[in-house]
Amino acid sequence: MSATTAGSWRSTLEPQTPGSGSRRGRRGAPQKWGSPFTYFVALLFIAVCIAPVLYIVVGGFRTNSQITTSPAGLPHPWVVTNYTGVLKSVTFWGEFANSVIVGLASTVGIVVLGLMVSFVIARYDFKFKGAMYSLFAAGLMFPLVIAITPLYIVVKDLGLIDSLAGVIIPQIAFGLPTTVIILVPFLRAIPKEIEEAAALDGASRLGFFVRMVLPLSLPGVVTVGILAFIGSWNNFVLPLYIINSQANFTLPLGVQQFSSQYSTDTARVLAFTSLAMLPALIFFTIFQQRIVGGLTGAVKG
Amino acid sequence: MSETLGTDTAIGGQSQGTPRVGGAAETAPPTRPRAAGRRRGRAKMRLEIAVLSGPPIIVFLAFVIFPVALAAYYGFYQWHGYGAATDWVGLNNYKLILTDPAFQQVLWHNLLIVVLSLVIQGPLAILLALLLNQKIRGRTIIRVLIFVPYVISEVIVGTGWSLMLQANGALNDLLAHVGLGSLKADWLASPKLALWTLMAIISWKYIGFAVILMLAGLQAIPEELHEAAAIDGASYWQIQRRITLPLLGPTIRIWAFLSIIGSLQLFDLVYIIWGEYVSGTAGTSTMAIYMVGQGRDAGNYGYGSAIAVVMFLISLIVALIYQRFVLRRDLRGAVTEGAI
């Protein structure tokens, strides 16, 4: 419920942007079929985007001899042993669990800390507000790769080398800039009148934060959370530096190691790779509207 | 919509009749305590600001700003990663970088990647977005499918593509099957081709993101403008050139900014497909690859840090120039202060 409330708030606030309302209207009207050329190009484009992914997934159902004799062929017959082999391996599930732990912890950290500071920047009036925003916005220019060597040293000095915490905490820090950029416009769009009404009712600013801001900014929060999770799921450089022992590997490290260790067993590498990308893909498919919508908001904001 | 809002205003209406405790206390002695109350309010506000923004700022400073500052510091030393850095070499690392042919090479690769990404992906993304913005069926599913390569990690993309592009891989096999056997090539190892292969993979992975951004930008353009222009007799392409493109400007500029910064930092893809050493001979190594090779693998942490600083300065200069001259109107204070 709260999500729809916020959605309609936004669309009433910004009538020029296509809110959920106008889209619903379009869907209601009987839709015309476009020109065949459009469909042709769209299909071609989709094929180019999806074919390599399908190749990885389908390749996992072949045997190595099939792949060697006909690299671009279809499975004949389909074999599931590659997939079952990976699914039975302790290594895969260990790396999967590590990726899940790192992803969830990073996401929670990014969302909670990001909301706190975005709320301050968006709703409080004080001298260093602009400077604070600039500080975080400037963080967009400090990508992880650039800071990786000294970051490694900092993590080492804290004794967090080869631990999941050593990946999680820096990921939270580097996730904050995007979060602030996306959330601040969201929080600022909540009309002042609501805050005043809440104040009249005796709610403190913090009470207003918990009871009104959180539900109203839920769409933005969800977007930020999904981006944080996918970013964490796909992160490679940081674990590459921080994590040494295989017991603490996340999936990207696992994929890299697996593909060099079993470089002759192509089919198994393909199966491992498919299974490693599956969670991010499922996650994305479920929440795609939010991600795309959030990006739109960020660009316009 | 306003279930929340409705109840809230209702409560607001009720509570107007009964003055709050605080309000009553304020009305009794008129002037001075109110100032005290305001002062107390300010102190409370400061406390709230500190409590809310303290932890994020500390984490951010400790793990983003401090490491970057540390890189700048180590850049002045010849340091091998253990013990305190004592071997101060001043600007020597930077002098070395400027004359280091290997660095010039990777810098050149990065510049090529920046330019080619813009030139290849930009026009293509705009055209595809114009096409997909028409009223066709299955728009949602199309948007999901073209976004898939962007969601998959560079590690997986790299692993998959390197298997497909091997000399005896799927692409060459496919070419032979459709009668284009003469086009077979060593896509990854050939120094002539490798950079173009990399560009193809980058374009494949990031074009969906560009198209989605452009689509979002297109949907923000009011349809009435197009209708008005059409009534005035403008052709389809005239409308796109005179109305759509200028109005899409902000989106294009922001996309280009993201693309440039991303290209300057390219690491994962090249590291996975070519690795540190092969990328050098194949001509695809980037600044980030060189930095990691020098710092982590060769143990020249001082020199590696100096490379990191140079990379950062290049990104910063590009970003500042871009903001000053291109993004000025679009961001309206998103990165600089301004309108907050």
Determine, for residues B1 and A8 on separate chains, whether the beta-carbon distance falls below 8 Å: yes
Residue B103 vs residues A143, A198, B113, B127, B261: alpha-carbon distances, Å: 20, 59, 15, 36, 18
Among A149, A87, A127, A110, CA closest to A230:
A110
pLDDT at A221 over 50: yes
Separation between Cα atoms, residue B126 and residue B121, nearest integer Å: 8
Separation between Cα atoms, residue A152 and residue B63, nearest integer Å: 10
Q: What's the complex ipTM? A: 0.76
State whether residue A230 sits within 8 Å of chain B by CB.
yes
Coil, strand or helix at B311: helix
pLDDT one-digit tens code per residue, A282-299: 888 887 766 665 555 554
Find the residue in B nearest to A170 (Cα).
Answer: B63
Token digits of residue B304: 């590696």
What is the predicted pLDDT for the residue at A290? 67
Hey, what amino acid is at B175? L
Among B258, B272, B87, CA closest to B161:
B272
What's the CATH fold of domain A91-249+279-300?
A: MetI-like fold (1.10.3720)
Least confident of A49-58, B35-44, B234-243, B266-275: B35-44
Kindly report the backbone phi and psi dihedral angles of residue B283, in degrees, each rounded to the nearest multiple of 5, phi listed first. 80, 35
pLDDT one-digit tens code per residue, A95-122: 889 999 999 999 999 998 988 888 888 7
Number of domains in chain B: 1
Residues 32-71 of A with CB under 8 A from B: 32-35, 38-39, 41-42, 45-46, 48-50, 52-53, 55-56, 59, 68, 70-71
Separation between Cα atoms, residue B107 and residue B101, nearest integer Å: 10
CATH of the domain at B261: 1.10.3720.10
Domain spans, chain A: 91-249+279-300
Per-residue pLDDT, averaged over A254-280, amounts to: 84
A193-196, Cβ contacts within 8 angstroms, sequence gap of 24 or more: A194/B5, A194/B8, A195/A123
State whether residue B298 sits within 8 Å of chain A by CB.
no
Instruction: Report if residue B63 sits inside a domain.
Output: no
Higher pLDDT, B127 or A8: B127
Separation between Cα atoms, residue A236 and residue B156, nearest integer Å: 10
Higher pLDDT, B19 or A200: A200
DSSP B233: T
Contact indicator for B71, B85 with CB cutoff of 8 Å:
no
Rounded percentage of chain B residues whose pLDDT exceeds 70: 81
- The model carries a pTM of 0.77
Structural domain boundaries, residue B119: 102-331
pLDDT one-digit tens code per residue, B157-215: 898 898 888 877 778 778 777 777 677 777 887 788 888 989 999 999 999 888 888 88
Q: Which of A49, A140, A206 sits opposite B208 (nearest CB)?
A: A49
Separation between Cα atoms, residue B63 and residue A110, nearest integer Å: 13
State whether residue B311 sits within 8 Å of chain A by CB.
yes
Q: Which of B20, B70, B319 sits opposite A153 (nearest CB)?
A: B70
pLDDT one-digit tens code per residue, B112-138: 999 999 999 999 999 888 888 877 777
Determine, for residues B337 and A134 on separate chains, whether the beta-carbon distance falls below 8 Å: yes
Q: Which of A1, A151, A276 sits opposite B63 (nearest CB)?
A: A151
Most trustworthy range by pLDDT among A191-195, B49-53, B210-214 = B210-214
State whether residue A295 sits within 8 Å of chain B by CB.
yes
- Chain B nearest C-alpha distance from A222 (Å): 16
State whether residue A244 sits within 8 Å of chain B by CB.
no
B314-319, Cβ contacts within 8 angstroms, sequence gap of 24 or more: B314/B264, B314/B287, B315/A141, B315/A143, B315/A146, B315/B261, B315/B264, B315/B265, B316/A141, B318/B260, B318/B261, B318/B264, B319/A141, B319/B257, B319/B261
Find the residue in B nearest to A5 (Cα).
Answer: B1
